[in-house]
Amino acid sequence: MKSKIIKAVVMVSVAVLLIIVSSKNSNNKSIGTKGGSMPTILVAEQVR
């Protein structure tokens, strides 16, 4: 049961991070779609 709870928490946190990153990217068009997933990973690491 604990593993399922942990997975759910991880999924929610990842979704929140993606929402934060997408909102930042919409403000910063230079990062946007050209950078692909790398800026997303960098921002996610900075948030931690």
Q: What integer pLDDT is reported at residue 16 of this predicted model?
A: 82
In this prediction the pTM is 0.45
Q: How far apart are CA 31 and CA 27, in angstroms?
A: 9
How many structural domains is the chain composed of? 1
**Listed residue (18, 13, 23) closest to 40, CA to CA:** 18
Note the pLDDT tens digit of each residue in 1-48. 789 988 888 888 888 888 777 777 665 555 445 545 556 666 666 665
Q: What integer pLDDT is reported at residue 32 of this predicted model?
A: 47
- Domain range enclosing 37: 2-47
